[in-house]
């Protein structure tokens, strides 16, 4: 029986959009700032909400004269706490919050606007703030002009009291993807990234590089706990020579680090049949406004760990996501991240469960010409329930791409979206493939990156971050992770 099962689920929005107008119509707050002629309107929007947490945006529309440097203040009415903020700098003392501009958004022309966003936590209820103040003056809903012969008593300085750095600094430690997964009851058992910390408290090494000039190595850590990679340390260490990425550390504490993949069903091009290591500088990017580097996989490059701790085996439930460059792919086998065989060989149907990204059509494929997010379950790349074509799995090629695969007994799903904006789509959610060997699964628990389970190494792609979980994550948990990824500001 041939059937395509595809359930598309949308992120539940908390419908908390409020144009806060203090004057008129009984709504909660249009505000005027202190300036030669001042006024503003603030729109506070809760875009998504999950148990104990939420994602919000704040739009500030300047109705008065041009502003050069701004500070917005408000009080949370129910003890909410900001855990991460972008497009601004913030301080919070109890319920009182102050957000100031960063270097690139301090000027707001008359009639113009600026916007920042944040993730927050709450306990109990999550009501909207009742009022805002811009540059120290509560807005009144109109344009306020100074009285003749003087200026308003609360005249702001030309710029906020805190001078921002030339580029946005990494945010203070707060909620990160693995914190969100843990809160959802599906903790990370592997967390790999060369660009940022995946826990708010993580302050250890992200990866190791080795330079060719003298074969010495250097661990590359984060700028601060929960922050972006210290790319300057790599640039300094690797100046005037070539560096390779030798280790991608596991931030979960389980030591599921990734190193040079050994030979298996296929031998690699490096000495001893090992795969090549990635050149450390071929995938520059920006996260939290800071320079970082991804893992650029040319054909022949591969990483692996065949002796892991805590990764799903047999038919145990698990989830995983990865951030890829959606424009860097090929039709080779197989650019994977996820669960694979522990002996680097093809051990039969159902012995893998990994994210695949590319446009190969030898096995399964989706709508259009690709590339597609599919599941490598061994001896098949699956885009849905059918062995070959599944119309619900779309061609997807965002510059920064969120790719998700998750599986539990006789149930699995494919999800994906733009890692720079928006929400996740669900491209398949249903039973295991309708061919023999995949129910129950026989997962073995190794971890691979850039290669197939048997060490097939013909693929190309770029990896920035990814995790694997214990347990089958809910869509709500993944939606919150997606919001966190967008907030990281990959550019």
- Residues noted as catalytic: 378, 454
Q: Is 370 left (phi over 0), alpha (psi -120 to 50) or beta?
A: left
Instruction: Output DSSP code: residue 271.
Output: G
Q: Which two tokens stand for residue 392?
A: 């619900």
Q: CB neighbours of 250 closer than 8 A, spacing ≥ 6? A: 190, 191, 192, 256, 257, 258
Distance CA 98, CA 91 (A): 5
Taking CA atoms, 394 is separated from 141, 365, 372, 377, 475, in Å, by 46, 9, 6, 19, 19
- Bridge pairing between strands 132-134 and 113-121: unpaired
Q: CA-to-CA distance for 241 and 89, rounded, in angstroms?
A: 37
Question: Do residues 381 and 430 lie in contact, with contact meaning Cβ atoms separated by under 8 Å?
Answer: no
Q: Where are the beta strands (DSSP E) in 249-391?
A: 258-260, 284-287, 290-293, 295-297, 303-305, 318-324, 336-340, 353-358, 372-376, 381-382
Residues 6+ apart with CB under 8 A from 313: 443, 444, 445
CA distance 275 to 260: 6
Q: How far apart are CA 482 and CA 136, in angstroms?
A: 34
State residue 481 phi and psi, 5-degree precision: -65, -40
**Residue 318 CA: distances (Å) to CA of 194, 348, 389, 471:** 23, 20, 25, 5
Query: Interior CA angle at 256 toward 253 and 260, to 5°?
Result: 140
* Structure token pair of residue 99: 């957000």
């Amino acid at each position: 029986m041939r059937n395509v099962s595809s359930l598309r689920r949308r992120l539940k929005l908390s419908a908390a959009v409020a144009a806060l107008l203090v004057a008129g119509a009984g709504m909660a707050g249009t505000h005027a700032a202190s300036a030669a002629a001042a006024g503003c309107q603030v729109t506070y929007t809760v875009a998504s909400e999950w148990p104990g947490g939420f994602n919000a945006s704040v739009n500030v529309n300047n109705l008065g004269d041009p502003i050069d440097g701004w500070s917005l203040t408000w009080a949370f009415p129910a003890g909410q706490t900001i855990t991460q903020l972008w497009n601004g700098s913030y301080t919070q003392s109890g319920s009182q919050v102050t957000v100031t501009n960063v270097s690139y958004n301090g000027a707001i022309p008359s009639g113009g606007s600026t916007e920042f966003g944040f993730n927050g936590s709450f306990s109990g209820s999550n009501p909207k703030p009742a009022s805002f103040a811009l540059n120290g003056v509560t807005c009144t809903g109109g344009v306020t002009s100074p009285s003749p012969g003087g200026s308003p008593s609360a005249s702001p300085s030309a710029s906020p009291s805190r001078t921002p750095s030339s580029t946005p600094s990494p945010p203070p430690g707060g909620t990160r993807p693995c914190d969100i997964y843990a809160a959802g009851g599906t903790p990370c058992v592997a967390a790999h990234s060369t660009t940022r910390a995946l826990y708010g408290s993580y302050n250890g090494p992200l990866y190791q590089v080795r330079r060719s000039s003298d074969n010495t190595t250097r661990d590359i850590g984060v700028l601060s706990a929960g922050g972006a990679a210290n790319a300057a340390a790599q640039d300094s260490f690797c100046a005037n020579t070539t560096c390779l990425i030798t280790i991608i550390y596991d931030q979960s504490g389980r030591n599921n680090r990734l190193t040079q993949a050994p030979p298996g069903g296929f031998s690699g091009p490096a000495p001893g049949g090992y795969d090549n290591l990635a050149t450390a500088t071929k995938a520059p990017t920006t996260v939290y406004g800071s320079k970082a580097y991804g893992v650029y996989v040319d054909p022949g490059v591969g990483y692996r760990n065949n002796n892991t701790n805590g990764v799903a085996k047999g038919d145990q439930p698990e989830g995983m996501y990865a951030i890829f460059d959606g424009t860097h792919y090929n039709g080779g086998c197989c650019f994977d991240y996820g669960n694979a065989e522990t002996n680097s060989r093809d051990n039969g149907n159902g012995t893998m469960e990994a994210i695949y990204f590319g446009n190969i059509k030898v096995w399964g494929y989706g709508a259009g010409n690709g590339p597609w997010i599919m599941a490598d379950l061994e001896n098949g790349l699956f885009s849905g329930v059918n062995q070959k074509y599944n119309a619900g799995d779309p061609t997807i090629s965002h510059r920064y791409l969120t790719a998700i695969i998750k599986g539990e007994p006789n149930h699995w799903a494919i999800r994906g979206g733009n890692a720079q904006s928006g929400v996740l789509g669900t491209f398949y959610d249903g039973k295991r493939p309708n061919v023999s060997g995949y129910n129950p699964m026989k997962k073995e628990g190794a971890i691979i990156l850039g290669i197939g389970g048997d060490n097939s190494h013909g693929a190309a792609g770029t990896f920035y971050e990814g995790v694997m979980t214990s347990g089958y994550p809910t869509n709500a948990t993944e939606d919150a992770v997606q919001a966190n990824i967008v907030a990281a500001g990959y550019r």
